[in-house]
Amino acid sequence: MNLSARWIAFLLALFITVLTVVFLNFVPDTKAEMLVVTGVICFLATYFTTYYTVDVLIFQEVDQIYKSVKKLKIKDFNIKKKPLLNSQNPLKLLNTEISDYVTEKQKEIEELKRMETFRREFLANVSHELKTPIFAAQGFVHTLIDGAIDDPEVAIRFLNKAAKSLDGLDALVRDLVVLSQVETGELKMQFEVLDLVRITEDIFEQLEDKATKRDTKLKIKPAKIQECLVVADPQRIYQVLMNFIENAIKYGKDHGKVTVVFEEQKKHYTIAVEDDGPGIPQEHINRIFERFYRVDKSRSRETGGTGLGLAIVKHILSAHNSSVSVTSKPGKGTRFSFSLLKAD
């Protein structure tokens, strides 16, 4: 039962009044007026003293707690003093508010701990990723200094290897810069109307050598499509499509096929990049968007991958209010798709 100070005072006053009047009744020669006057005085005195005591005790305490809470300068403690003190049950209100607040803070602490672990792991990953190409390049250069330079054939081979490691390092640092820019929101998207078919053709041209090396066919579907006008940041969307198509070539099969499919919807275009490669095992699918996550580490490094491509893609698309869907069937191939707003 939820008793307010008023009710407690009323019940106590009633009880004491009845008790007093009943006892007084047994006293000989007691007149009715006396009983009434005593009853009224008794009731009023008990009622007010009890009410005052309960009220003062509870409300003073509540006020005290309120002041301590305020002293902590807790901004998001959103209870106001007036409604609290006017409430029927201020202690309960205060209790609910405090426990809500504690739950909220607990969640924040969990999130901070998670971020801290994430940060620590990221730092460890970055150092590891940086170390690999630096050590490799360093090794080749030192071997050259130690005498390999005298044999021109060996020298050129080692220099090529050192250059490849440094190119990898360059790609990694560039990806890290982009990633940190998109994450801190420093990289503002420049939205404009652009033609995805033209961008895709540009990328196909860029990747022609890589595709020819693996004998991969690059196709656009529907083949007759002239243009696909969407609203997006051209440079960033180029990067997104580049990563999907490059991945499809790199992780697809030899003599395979990579198709960029455009599907027109009411307000959007869905763009899909499909390959007929070995696919991504189910247990890895949710993790490939994590930074540095690769299904096959050595294959990724060998082909100059940084493992950051899909993490960047995810951020860029989310800045376009879009997200990536992946479906993959082992042995059959993979399909990455996303939607962009049609230009009207």
Note the residues at the interface with ligand ADP (CB under 6 A).
243, 247-248, 251, 275, 277, 280, 288, 294-296, 300, 305-310, 334
Minimum Å gap between C-beta 150 and ligand ADP is 37
Q: How far is the CB of 77 from Mg ion (least distance, A)?
A: 47
Q: What's the distance, Cα to Cα, between the start and end of the chain in Å?
A: 64
> 113 to each of 49, 76, 117, 183, 203, how far by Cα in Å?
52, 21, 6, 19, 41
Considering only the stretches 6-14, 60-68, 91-99, 243-251, report the one whose residues sit in contact with Mg ion under the rule CB under 5 A.
Answer: 243-251
99/94 Cα distance (integer angstroms): 9
Which CB sits closer to ligand ADP, 114 or 297? 297
Residue number, 46 or 306, with CB nearest to Mg ion = 306
Is there binding between residue 243 and Mg ion (CB under 5 A)?
Answer: yes
Strand ranges for 166-287 from DSSP E: 192-195, 217-221, 229-232, 257-264, 268-275
Q: How many CA atoms lie within 13 A of 223 on its CB side?
A: 2
Sorted by sequence, the CB contacts under 8 Å of residue 127 that are 6+ apart come out as none
Other beta carbons less than 10 A from residue 50's beta carbon: 19
From ligand ADP, Mg ion, none, interface partner of 269 (C-beta below 5 to 8 A by class): none
CB nearer to ligand ADP: pick between 133 and 305: 305
Cα-atom radius of gyration of the chain, to the nearest Å? 37
The entry of Mg ion, ligand ADP, none that residue 251 binds, CB within 5 to 8 Å by partner kind: ligand ADP
Task: List beta partners, residue 337.
Answer: 272, 325
One symbol per residue from 244 to 283: x for binding Mg ion (CB under 5 A), - otherwise; what is it?
A: ---x------------------------------------
Please give the residues from 302 up to 341 whose contact with Mg ion meets the rule CB under 5 A.
Answer: 309
Residues lying near Mg ion in the complex (CB under 5 A) are found at 243, 247, 309
